[in-house]
Amino acid sequence: MADTIKADLSVSIGSLKLKNPVMTASGTFGYAREFEPYVNLHRLGAVVVKGISLEPRAGNPPPRIVETSCGMLNAIGLENVGVDRFITEKMVSLQDVKVPVLVNILGDSIDEYREITKRLAGVAGIAGIEVNISCPNVKKGGVAFGTVPEMASAVTRAVREESTVPVIVKLSPNVSDITVIAKAVEEAGADAVSLINTLIGMAIDHKSRRPKIANVIGGLSGPAIKPVALRMVYQVSQVVSIPVIGIGGIETYEDVLEFMLAGATAVQIGTANFVNPRASEEAVEGLACYVKEQKLRSIRDVIGALILP
Amino acid sequence: MADTIKADLSVSIGSLKLKNPVMTASGTFGYAREFEPYVNLHRLGAVVVKGISLEPRAGNPPPRIVETSCGMLNAIGLENVGVDRFITEKMVSLQDVKVPVLVNILGDSIDEYREITKRLAGVAGIAGIEVNISCPNVKKGGVAFGTVPEMASAVTRAVREESTVPVIVKLSPNVSDITVIAKAVEEAGADAVSLINTLIGMAIDHKSRRPKIANVIGGLSGPAIKPVALRMVYQVSQVVSIPVIGIGGIETYEDVLEFMLAGATAVQIGTANFVNPRASEEAVEGLACYVKEQKLRSIRDVIGALILP
Amino acid sequence: MSQFQEKTEITRIERLAVDIYRLTLLSPEIASAAQPGQFVMVRTTNSKDPLLRRPFSICQTSSGKYFQILFKVVGRGTSLLAHCREGEFLSVLGPLGNGFQVDYNSANCLVGGGMGIAPLLFLGKTMLRKCKEQQPIVVLGARNKDELSPLVADFKELGLLVHAATDDGSLGRHGLVTDVLKNISFGTECQFSVCGPTPMMRAVHFFCKEGEYACQVSMETAMACGMGACLGCIVPVEKGGYAHACSDGPVFNAKELLWPIQ
Amino acid sequence: MSQFQEKTEITRIERLAVDIYRLTLLSPEIASAAQPGQFVMVRTTNSKDPLLRRPFSICQTSSGKYFQILFKVVGRGTSLLAHCREGEFLSVLGPLGNGFQVDYNSANCLVGGGMGIAPLLFLGKTMLRKCKEQQPIVVLGARNKDELSPLVADFKELGLLVHAATDDGSLGRHGLVTDVLKNISFGTECQFSVCGPTPMMRAVHFFCKEGEYACQVSMETAMACGMGACLGCIVPVEKGGYAHACSDGPVFNAKELLWPIQ
Ligand SMILES: Cc1cc2nc3c(=O)[nH]c(=O)nc-3n(C[C@H](O)[C@H](O)[C@H](O)COP(=O)(O)OP(=O)(O)OC[C@H]3O[C@@H](n4cnc5c(N)ncnc54)[C@H](O)[C@@H]3O)c2cc1C
Ligand SMILES: Cc1cc2nc3c(=O)[nH]c(=O)nc-3n(C[C@H](O)[C@H](O)[C@H](O)COP(=O)(O)OP(=O)(O)OC[C@H]3O[C@@H](n4cnc5c(N)ncnc54)[C@H](O)[C@@H]3O)c2cc1C
Ligand SMILES: Cc1cc2nc3c(=O)[nH]c(=O)nc-3n(C[C@H](O)[C@H](O)[C@H](O)COP(=O)(O)O)c2cc1C
Ligand SMILES: Cc1cc2nc3c(=O)[nH]c(=O)nc-3n(C[C@H](O)[C@H](O)[C@H](O)COP(=O)(O)O)c2cc1C
Ligand code: FES
Ligand code: FES
């Protein structure tokens, strides 16, 4: 354990220095405290908290989740306490966790994104903002911000203008060409991009002839989507010069290495936290051993080090 | 077995009448004869043969396939004997198989699609053409035909003009909004759409630091993609009035029912043929039992019968 | 918080009925921290399919070292568990959630249906330990004798009297647990602790509402994490919005829930 | 075509070395149709992960009812197989592919490395049955004695003389099988049947080319279907393009392949 400290695992996401590249993904790690029985939180690179909206949201009716082959669908409906209670209640308790906290935000209009960011500006303990642009734009008939370059870039610009901390834009994989969106948000001032959010999926119970989740469609996550995530991380890394954070089906340090080889500077672990709550800390331990065994100067040597045929 | 005959499993894809909705997917069933030791081919609804191009193609170098969580990636590179040898060699041997044969075609220009269709026109034993539009359009810098509505519709129109049999257009899932493409090809004259082709994915071996398939990226198939396929079939069924053929992670008759409830008139079984070569015939048997047990007049009663919350 | 992720050894596997099994697992940490009504999340395979853990009530603990889960094979996860071997290890998270809050010195009634009987055995045992003077009234229901009798036997072994009901009348009363309840006279102070299928819990809740008895129910929902992180396991509550079965429950005061729950 | 999809019963599991196992499977259909050099595709789990079947050479058949596979645990599929129990059933497809084409009356040399030794046992046994006068020369290599000696023992039991080589010298010659080959004098008519790691097969091919001996090699590639349907299992061939290991092979005339194969 003491050994772990010696391996250089540090990476930078813009001005944000992380002691290692392993974060936990929004919506899969609660407000971090839930994992205290299992994880030394301060050993993680960062934690990303559940998506926050301007007003509290009750979320979707049950059932909200269902297992699929090597994955799960969720339609939580972005249940959250709203930005104000987040600041007064959740951030306060998060303060004593000695790990950078990234706040994931969402809205249904550009103004809403802007307003949340304003309220978060200057709040102690927030190391960065991650902007979930997979949400529907109510003014544009519900088309997701993340699927249209102009809308993605408008959201990014608004958040970037109000934010006092690094802004990470979290991309939707449900697009024809993710590199176009990535370039748009880079140009609009994003300090980093994270990808992927969930693929849109559906499950049906043939016996009852009903959808297995009340919202009919939901977000697919877990090992099933890893190949898609890895491909998109690889493609985006080729076209942007800001850091890329890889997400999707990551569980072990080997998975982390694959994403970093594809070009990711850091990663987030999502669904795997449910299966193995210690997954994030174990990935950090695994990376430390890897760096030492391979006698690397730093884990950063792995970033984009994929050898093409 | 004799009982099976009584259940009404027949469905129509345009003018094409199928004795049941279970087909095998292109590229996963060889030229059908490979499965004779395991399957009574004449019990299937139809078989779709491997994609055929104008000229023979050697395909991609090895490795071409790799297993992923609940799925596999392939980059066969569309290895095939070319349309002329297909007609003289493969179709001849396919003639004695008493099952409708659909020919999957692909090209890298609209002219190529048109020319293949011309050569196939009038060839005995061809019940329909399935147009793979996930291929790169060489003239447009390699953007896949299936990701741009205008290109998708131009291919459809060209094939429709030359074809003497029903034309099914096979949609790519790697798009922001598959309903737009579906509507475009319907308008261009497609007699049906089939979906989904593979999701684009990637796999990396962290030990060698190399991609696990020589082509770097490949197509993801199998149970992992079923939720995405089901969602797209559901969405497309809402917006087109031509029949929809569901594909993606289907193995059992329960999977078939799920796709039909979502709106599919028929389905194709792909990767599951590798795991269980009898999957297609077993699905037909399962559907026959289902129709009888549920006392349905016809399996067609299931199409689109999803009950929304 | 006393929660643990453990590789627990399976020390015993018993097949109680055609598709009902009981596993005894070795984990001093979980066994000594567990409270009646709490549950564990169990990994049923080392593979990624099925991916998620499965929740099971803690059915009994013994010697502060062992705990048991009782389950019915209903799908792939439980089928995998049924095929485990003694000596193998299972990855278990727990104990999770909030258990039953009972006044051990008051009159108590335990009402269980099917596998919902599991946590009530733990609760009944604890009641007997904490209060020697008064025994809880136990009402158990299931589909038939084969399923119910091994569970009834466990309570009888503790010296508890069991009122049984089965759907087919093969053991105890022919009918539902509420049919049994109607024929028992309860003191006004009696507190009900209920676990079973939702329609049964709903019926018992309305029975209690009428008689003005306190009533706690243990809710089953789909769960991905079991620890308040995924927000998947919701139940609608009276005051509006949702509670989370894993972290606010699984045991709730029935009055706080918004019935009828589907 | 005599190919079958079978639920074969595992009648015996033997652990031959730390990570080497041999399964005996009951399938009269497969056992009686099998030819040396053919293989089977085995499902290693009922779950969807790992999804695909795994290819294994048929290592021996007996009484026209049983056949054996010999394997090394290298990943998840083989690890699952190693954990099977006798009496369980495995889903097996086979026999698949084209086996060794040998002139049983000519002089023959069998060269095997590691798990590539498996199909050669079947071939050696068949040679002895078909031609009593002449015994094949057998050259086997592996990493060390632990891995090699149980395999050598099988050949010795048939009455065959084995020339052994190990990477660490713990059994037979210290070095590669080609080091052994160089010290044997072969008749010009000698035909080589080779199975093992690709670098070894390449080396033996070049040895044969020099000596102008006929040489057949059994190729291992990734395989999804094992029956010519997926086109995944290619090996580059001399005349240009690719052959399919499962349906054109796995045994090829070494001269028809495009060396060096990676
Ligand atoms: C807090 C809690 C405690 C529980 N305690 C026990 C217990 O002590 N003993 C026991 O046998 N079971 C208990 N359950 C239910 C148990 O978790 C499920 O039976 C199990 O997850 C099914 O897994 P599977 O993989 O076998 O079924 P799956 O393959 O996941 O599903 C098979 C079928 O079972 C249904 N199903 C799935 N989950 C549940 C569920 N939670 N409740 C009812 N039906 C379900 C599905 O809809 C499906 O029709 C408990 C559930 C919760 C939430
Ligand atoms: C025609 C044929 C016959 C075979 N006969 C035998 C046999 O008799 N005995 C035996 O032990 N093995 C044999 N193999 C190899 C065997 O199929 C693989 O070892 C097995 O598929 C590995 O499965 P796994 O799930 O344990 O490994 P995986 O988890 O799939 O992979 C683990 C590691 O093994 C490597 N690997 C995977 N497949 C192969 C392969 N085909 N060859 C070499 N390395 C591989 C992977 O690259 C990875 O590094 C044969 C292969 C073929 C194609
Ligand atoms: C239950 C659940 C809730 C999620 N909530 C959010 C969220 O609030 N905001 C967000 O940006 N992503 C959310 N996600 C997406 C994850 O952060 C992550 O991008 C996705 O799950 C893919 O990673 P994984 O495969 O490792 O889970 C959620 C995912 C799950 C499974
Ligand atoms: C090995 C392989 C080869 C394929 N070749 C083709 C092809 O030639 N043309 C085509 O349209 N689709 C091809 N596909 C896609 C399948 O037809 C199908 O759309 C996809 O695999 C999803 O279905 P599945 O999950 O059931 O496999 C191929 C798929 C696989 C796995
Ligand atoms: S199961 Fe995840 S919050 Fe309750
Ligand atoms: S393994 Fe599928 S074609 Fe050979």
Chain segment B266-303, per-residue pLDDT in tens: 999 999 999 999 999 999 999 999 999 999 999 999 99
Which residues of chain B from 22 to 81 reach within 8 Å of chain A, CB to CB? 61, 68-71, 73
- Ligand 2 mutation target, pool D38, D43, D56, most atoms within 8 A of CB: D56
| Cβ C21 vs Cβ C14: under 8 Å | yes
Could you state, in order of their start, the residue ranges of all structural domains in chain D? 4-96, 108-256
Q: How far is the CA of A268 from the centre of ligand 3 (A)?
A: 10
D48–chain B Cβ distance below 8 A for any pair: yes
Strands, E assignment, B191-243:
192-195, 199-202, 204-205, 210-211, 217-221
Chain C hits for B70, CB-CB cut-off 8 Å, are 48-49
For residue B89, give the DSSP letter: I
Query: CB count, 10 Å around CB of B124?
Result: 9
User: Between the CA of residue A286 and those of A2, A23, A125, A251, C155, what are the distances in Å?
Assistant: 14, 14, 28, 11, 48
Query: CB count, 10 Å around CB of C14?
Result: 12
pLDDT at A4 over 70: no
Spell A30-62 as b/e; 16+ CB within 10 A means b: bbbbbbebbbebebbbbbbbbbbbbebbebbbb
Which amino acid type is present at position C193?
S
The closest CB to that of D5, out of B63, B66, B277, belongs to B277
Chain B hits for A147, CB-CB cut-off 8 Å, are 176-177
Scanning every residue of chain A, which has its alpha carbon at the shortest distance from the alpha carbon of B175?
Answer: A176
Chain segment B95-124, per-residue pLDDT in tens: 888 899 999 999 999 999 999 999 999 999
Q: What is the pLDDT of residue B1?
A: 45
Q: How far is the CA of D113 from the centre of ligand 2 (A)?
A: 14
Calpha distance A157→B118 (Å, rounded): 52
Q: Which of C232, C145, C250 is nearest to C196 (CA)?
A: C250
Chain segment D123-180, per-residue pLDDT in tens: 999 999 888 788 999 999 999 999 999 999 999 999 999 999 999 989 888 989 998 8
Collapsing DSSP to helix, strand or coil, B230 comes out as helix
Give the ligand 3 atom nearest the CA of A78: 8
Q: Is the CB of C225 under 6 A from ligand 5?
A: yes
Calpha distance C148→C109 (Å, rounded): 18
Q: Is the CB of C51 under 6 A from ligand 1?
A: no
| Cβ A58 vs Cβ C241: under 8 Å | yes
pLDDT confidence tier of residue A2, bands split at 50, 70 and 90: very low
Burial of A276 (0-12, 13-18, 19+ CB in 10 A): buried
pLDDT at B137 over 80: no
Query: From the candidates D6, D48, D53, which should be mutated to test the interface with B, based on the most B CB atoms within 10 A?
Result: D48
User: Are the beta carbons of D231 and B59 separated by less than 8 Å?
Assistant: yes
Q: Is the CB of B51 under 6 A from ligand 4?
A: yes
Q: Is the CB of D220 under 6 A from ligand 2?
A: yes
Could you state, in order of their start, the residue ranges of all structural domains in chain B? 3-59+77-198+221-302
Reported ipTM = 0.96
User: Are the beta carbons of C1 and A70 separated by less than 8 Å?
Assistant: no
D87–chain C Cβ distance below 8 A for any pair: no
Two tokens, residue D249: 């092979």
User: Cα-atom radius of gyration of chain D, to the nearest Å?
Assistant: 17
pLDDT at A102 over 70: yes
Exposure on the CB side of residue D90, measured as CA atoms within 13 A: 31
The closest CB to that of D222, out of B58, B66, B277, belongs to B66
Q: What's the gap in Å between the CA of A46 and the closest CA on chain D? A: 31
The residues with which C26 forms a beta bridge, in sequence order, are C9, C66
Q: How far is the CA of C146 from the centre of ligand 1 (A)?
A: 20
Q: Which residues of B are part of the catalytic machinery?
A: 135
Q: What is the pLDDT of residue A141?
A: 76
Burial of A189 (0-12, 13-18, 19+ CB in 10 A): middle
Which amino acid type is present at position D58?
I
Relative to beta strand C66-72, strand B22-24 is unpaired
Q: Which of B289, B293, B305, C43 is nearest to A205 (CA)?
A: B305
Q: Is the CB of C142 under 6 A from ligand 1?
A: no
Give the ligand 2 atom nearest the CA of D74: 26
The CA dihedral of B207, B209, B215, B220, to the nearest 10 degrees, is 60
| Cβ A11 vs Cβ A300: under 8 Å | yes
Q: What is the pLDDT of residue D262?
A: 59
One of 3.40.50.2000, 2.40.30.10, 3.60.15.10, 1.10.10.10 is the CATH number of D4-96, namely 2.40.30.10
The residues with which A269 forms a beta bridge, in sequence order, are A24
Which is the catalytic residue, given A135, A167, A184, A267?
A135
Q: Is the CB of B170 under 6 A from ligand 4?
A: yes
Q: What is the pLDDT of residue C262?
A: 60
pLDDT block averages, 10 residues each, chain C of length 262: 85 94 96 96 95 97 94 96 94 96 91 95 93 88 94 92 92 90 89 95 93 94 96 95 96 93 64
Calpha distance B122→A225 (Å, rounded): 42
Residue nearest to atom 23 of ligand 3 (CA): A248
Two tokens, residue D49: 């992960």
Chain D hits for B271, CB-CB cut-off 8 Å, are 51, 224
Question: For the residues B11-38, what does the mean pLDDT come to?
Answer: 95
For tokens 């491997």, name the residue.
B50
Give the ligand 2 atom nearest the CA of D118: 8
Burial of A150 (0-12, 13-18, 19+ CB in 10 A): exposed
Active-site residue, A70 included: no
Q: What is the pLDDT of residue B5?
A: 54
Collapsing DSSP to helix, strand or coil, B75 comes out as coil
What does chain B come to in residues?
309
User: Are the beta carbons of B74 and D224 separated by less than 8 Å?
Assistant: yes
Q: Is the CB of D234 under 6 A from ligand 4?
A: no
pLDDT over 90 for what percent of chain A? 90
C48–chain B Cβ distance below 8 A for any pair: yes
D76–chain C Cβ distance below 8 A for any pair: yes
Helix axes B226-239, B178-187, angle to 10 degrees: 50
Which amino acid type is present at position B78?
L
Calpha distance C144→A86 (Å, rounded): 50
pLDDT block averages, 10 residues each, chain D of length 262: 84 94 96 96 95 97 94 96 94 96 91 95 93 88 93 92 92 90 88 95 93 94 96 95 95 92 63
pLDDT at A109 over 80: yes
For residue D98, give the DSSP letter: B
- DSSP letters along B38-64, please? T--GGGSSEEEEEEE-SS-B--PPSP-
Q: What's the gap in Å between the CA of B301 and the closest CA on chain D? A: 30
Query: CB count, 10 Å around CB of C245?
Result: 25
Name the interface residues of B facing C (CB cutoff 8 Å). Answer: 69-70, 223
User: Are the beta carbons of B147 and A225 separated by less than 8 Å?
Assistant: no
- pTM for the full model? 0.96
pLDDT confidence tier of residue B4, bands split at 50, 70 and 90: very low
How remote is the C-alpha of C112 from its chain's centroid?
Answer: 8
Two tokens, residue C204: 């018992």
Calpha distance A84→C87 (Å, rounded): 51
State the greatest distance between any 2 C-alpha atoms of chain A, in Å, as a whole number. 57
Q: What is the pLDDT of residue B69?
A: 98
pLDDT at B2 over 50: no
Strands, E assignment, chain A:
11-13, 16-18, 22-24, 46-52, 65-68, 71-74, 101-105, 126-132, 136-137, 143-144, 167-170, 192-195, 199-202, 204-205, 210-211, 217-221, 244-247, 266-269
For residue B87, give the DSSP letter: I
Burial of A286 (0-12, 13-18, 19+ CB in 10 A): middle
Q: How far is the CA of A270 from the centre of ligand 3 (A)?
A: 6
Scanning every residue of chain A, which has its alpha carbon at the shortest distance from the alpha carbon of B304?
Answer: A209
Q: Which of A107, A105, A65 is nearest to A201 (CA)?
A: A65
Question: For the residues A19-30, what does the mean pLDDT come to?
Answer: 97
With contact defined as 3+ CB pairs under 8 Å, the chains touching D are A, B, C
Q: What is the pLDDT of residue D261?
A: 67
Q: What angle do CA B217, B218, B220 make, to 5 degrees?
A: 130
Q: Which of A80, A114, A72 is nearest to A219 (CA)?
A: A72
Calpha distance A191→A168 (Å, rounded): 6
Q: What angle do CA A194, A197, A202 make, to 5 degrees?
A: 170
Chain B hits for C48, CB-CB cut-off 8 Å, are 69-70
Q: What's the gap in Å between the CA of A237 and the closest CA on chain B? A: 14
| Cβ B271 vs Cβ B250: under 8 Å | no
Q: What is the pLDDT of residue B231?
A: 98
Scanning every residue of chain C, which has its alpha carbon at the shortest distance from the alpha carbon of B69?
Answer: C48
In sequence order, the 6+-apart residues with CB closer than 8 A to the CB of D52 are B67, B72, B274, B275, D223, D224
Q: What is the pLDDT of residue D260?
A: 75
Collapsing DSSP to helix, strand or coil, B137 comes out as strand
Question: For the residues A109-135, what does the mean pLDDT come to?
Answer: 94
Burial of B58 (0-12, 13-18, 19+ CB in 10 A): middle
pLDDT at A256 over 50: yes
Is omega for the bond preceding D119 within 30 degrees of 0, making it cis?
Answer: no
Task: Specify the CATH architecture of the domain B3-59+77-198+221-302.
Answer: Alpha-Beta Barrel (3.20)
User: Between the CA of residue A166 and those of A13, A97, A126, A156, A294, what are the distances in Å?
Assistant: 8, 20, 10, 11, 32
Which residues of chain C from 92 to 121 reach within 8 Å of chain A, CB to CB? 93
Q: Which CATH class is domain D108-256?
A: alpha beta
Q: How far is the CA of A257 from the centre of ligand 2 (A)?
A: 23
- Ligand 2 mutation target, pool D15, D41, D54, most atoms within 8 A of CB: D54
